[in-house]
Amino acid sequence: MGAKKENNDDEMDEKVKKYLRGEAANLEGLKDKKLKGQLAVREDLYGKSAKTAAKIEKWLLPSEGGYLEAEGIEKTWRIKQESIAREIDISSSKNQYDIVLPELGPYTLDFTSNGRYMAAAGRKGHLAIVDMKTLNLIKEIQVKETVRDVVYLHNELFFAVAQKKYPYIYNRDGTELHCLKEHGAVLRLQFLKNHFLLASINKFGQLHYQDVTMGEMVGNFRTGLGRTDVMQVNPFNGVVALGHSSGTVTMWKPTSSVPLVKMLCHPGPVSSLAFHPNGHLMATSGKENKIKIWDLRKFEVIQTMPGHAKTLNFSQKGLLAAGTGSFIKILADFSGSQNYNSYMTHSMAKGYQVGKVLFRPYEDVLGIGHSMGWSSILIPGSGEPNFDSWVANPFETSKQRREKEVHSLLDKLPPETIMLDPTKVGTVRAPQKKEKPTKKEIEAEMEAAIETAKDTDFKKKTKGRNKPSKRAKKRQEMIERAKKPFLEQQIQEHERSRKKQKTNPETEMPKSLQRFVRQKAA
């Protein structure tokens, strides 16, 4: 009994710690009494808040995720879907199915953030929206064009489809709302739901960010690394990662024309990548038959596994699904030691080529898009058992949906909040090295200096020396003096740039050879 209580307390403490979001401020060395008092009061309130939150969590979120546990020589990866089906209830067994649509080619899938709806897109123009709860087909349209990707926007009402030439936005009824011509022939689409940005990578390796609320093009960058269809958004910080054929993974944000991070992950082309929901882990797979798990805080490899994956996906609970050919492998790390082991396997019927694996949020279900339609299998312990209706509600009514839409629009984050470490927001900026002031700034400064020189009042001098001509002359002199340093600086800069030009290899080369100089990526 006592032990139980202790255990309970420990649990509570853990939860409180979670809600405290880090160490309390150490007030001991603080000399400012007033601040000390204020912070003490604050900390106390935080503590209270965390405690209540922990309690509430205990009361309101009672479900715990379960997972397969092997007994004896049993291995979890040997457990087949059929054996699982035998053990579970009817409602869960509804999630095991195969939809065979052989004509309209390999299917790709997307779930809404609450996992209620699924959009499936066949390569040959077949679009379908399915309510996963009732397994009703809501809408089905045929765009009669190549469809490369489909992605839901902020709710199930809108989805974007990457078609042959341009991406389009449709609503739930299958009405085409927008044609996003600027994106070009898009290969992969991603939606950043906190920022309301639709990110796309097109055939020519151009990355586009478009704000779907105002329709504004937020960013348009040429990656300069060639065509790729490997693109994934980091749900933690909104950074978009691209896998390239050179084996590099680049990470982008909409306010920077150069990648934030460029890392060489594989010697061969990157075939797919996925992010853990907490944003600290990244899984990549290369064509050289390797799957790597990276720690994004240190940019180091944690684990390298043999195997090829055409598609990778992390579940909410951190299971990693890798699909290749007609074979699907689930890796799991239940110990928390960040050592991923094989958890489950699933093989599709022979000849099915898995195109996309995607865990369904808040369900222990893995959706598989393959060349012959789509399938759904059960992966115990993959989904988050408790949902927060403020974040995503699988049982959302239309009214709730409407309210949430407004709320999420009000809470929309500006694109500049996308950064590698979003916890940096609101902190003190690290002292930077002096940036060169821009031309405009220099000009403004000069203007100001001139203005001040103009505005200076002269002393009233004796009669002979107070002539207007003399005063004007003097004023002119003052203005000149104020200008001088700026002009000197300009001259210096000019000189420097000229020198640089001289040293540029392109200019050094004879004209005939200049065209062979390798063009740098912009």
Partner 1 sequence: MAVKKRKERAVGGESGNSKKFKKYSNSKGPMKKNKNDKRKKGKGPRLPSALRTELDRLDPKIASDSDDGIDLDVGNDVYEYEEEVPQEESRKNRRFDPVENYEYELPEDFEDENVPSDEDDDDGDFGVGGNKGSLNDDVDASDGDEEEDDERHLRMLQGVTGMSTDAFGGKKKRNSVVISEAHPESEYNPTRDVLEGDSHITLQDLLDPIQGKAGYSKLRKRVQHMDRKSTSVQAPLPKVDREKLERMAVYEHSKKDITKWEHLVKRNREAPTVFFGGDVDLGFSTVGAIASEFEPRTEFEKKIASLVYDDKVMEAHKADGSKLLELNKISEEDYMKHQDHVAKMRGLLFRHEMKQKRIKKIKSKTYHRLKNKDKLKVESAEMLMDPEAAKEQARKQEFKRAEERMTLKHKNKSKWARRILERGLNAQDEGTRAAMAEQLHQHALLTRKINTVKDSSSSSDSSSDDDDEVSNEDRASELLEKAKEKTLKVLEDDEEVPNSGVLSLPFMVRGMKKRKEEAIEEAKLALQEYEQLEGTNDAENSKPATASGRRVFGRANNEVPDSNKKTKTDNKMKMDNYYGNSDSEDDLKAKENVNIEGGKRNDVEKDVGPNYDRKEAADVSIFKNFEDNGDPGSKTTYEVAIFASDSRRKMKSENGIDKNAKKLQQVKEAIVHDKDMEEGEEDSDSESKQMVDGILSSAPKESYELPSQSELIRHAFAGDYVEEEFEKDKQEILNEENPEPDKPVLLPGWGQWTRVQQKKGLPWWMLKEHEDSKRKREESLKKRKDAQLKHVIISEKVDKKAEKLQTKSLPYPFTSKELFEQSMRMPIGSESNPETAIRSLNRPEVVKKPGVIIKPIKFVEMHHHEKSEDNKRSGQKQKKNKSKGASGKNKKQSN
Footprint on residues 211-230 left by partner 1 (CB under 8 A): 226-227
Q: Tell me if 457 contacts partner 1 by CB under 8 A.
A: no
Among candidates 294, 276, 269, which has minimal Cα distance to 233?
A: 276
Q: Tell me if 195 contacts partner 1 by CB under 8 A.
A: no
Residue with tokens 């053990």: 87
* Chain-centroid distance, C-alpha 330: 23
- Among 21-29, 100-108, 131-139, 374-382, the segment contacting partner 1 (CB under 8 A): 21-29
Our CB check for partner 1 shows the closer of 22 and 468 to be 22
CA distances from 51 to 3, 24, 225, 412, 509 (A): 21, 14, 50, 29, 71
- Contact pattern for partner 1 over residues 366 through 405, marking x by CB under 8 A: ------------------------x---------------
Binding-site size for partner 1 (CB under 8 A) equals 76
Footprint on residues 171-190 left by partner 1 (CB under 8 A): 181-182, 184
DSSP H or E stretch at residue 162: strand 158-163
Measured CA angle at 168 (ends 255, 415), to 5 deg: 15
E strand intervals along 180-310: 186-192, 197-202, 206-211, 217-222, 230-233, 240-243, 248-252, 261-264, 270-275, 281-286, 290-295, 300-306
- Among 15-23, 116-124, 208-216, 365-373, the segment contacting partner 1 (CB under 8 A): 15-23
Footprint on residues 432-451 left by partner 1 (CB under 8 A): 432-433, 435
Considering the complex, what minimum distance in angstroms separates the CB of residue 382 from partner 1?
26
Q: DSSP labels for 96-145?
A: -EEEE--TT--EEEEE-TTSSEEEEEETTSEEEEEETTTTEEEEEEE-SS
Our CB check for partner 1 shows the closer of 142 and 245 to be 245
Considering the complex, what minimum distance in angstroms separates the CB of residue 288 from partner 1?
7
Q: Decide if 396 contacts 408 (C-beta within 8 A).
A: no
- Among 40-48, 72-80, 327-335, 440-448, the segment contacting partner 1 (CB under 8 A): 40-48
- Among 14-22, 61-69, 168-176, 398-406, the segment contacting partner 1 (CB under 8 A): 14-22
- Among 245-253, 274-282, 328-336, 367-375, the segment contacting partner 1 (CB under 8 A): 245-253
- Report the alpha-carbon distance of residue 299 to residue 167 in Å, rounded: 33
- Report the alpha-carbon distance of residue 311 to residue 358 in Å, rounded: 9
Residue from 10, 74, 140, 299 touching partner 1 (CB under 8 A): that is: 299
Structure tokens at 54: 């922990």
Our CB check for partner 1 shows the closer of 299 and 395 to be 299
Q: How many CB atoms lie within 10 A of CB 56?
A: 12
- Report the alpha-carbon distance of residue 144 to residue 141 in Å, rounded: 9
Q: Decide if 238 contacts 192 (C-beta within 8 A).
A: yes
- Contact pattern for partner 1 over residues 475 through 514, marking x by CB under 8 A: ------------------------x---x-----------
- Among 7-15, 33-41, 395-403, 470-478, the segment contacting partner 1 (CB under 8 A): 33-41
Footprint on residues 414-433 left by partner 1 (CB under 8 A): 415-417, 419, 424-429, 432-433
Residue from 28, 71, 89, 457 touching partner 1 (CB under 8 A): that is: 28
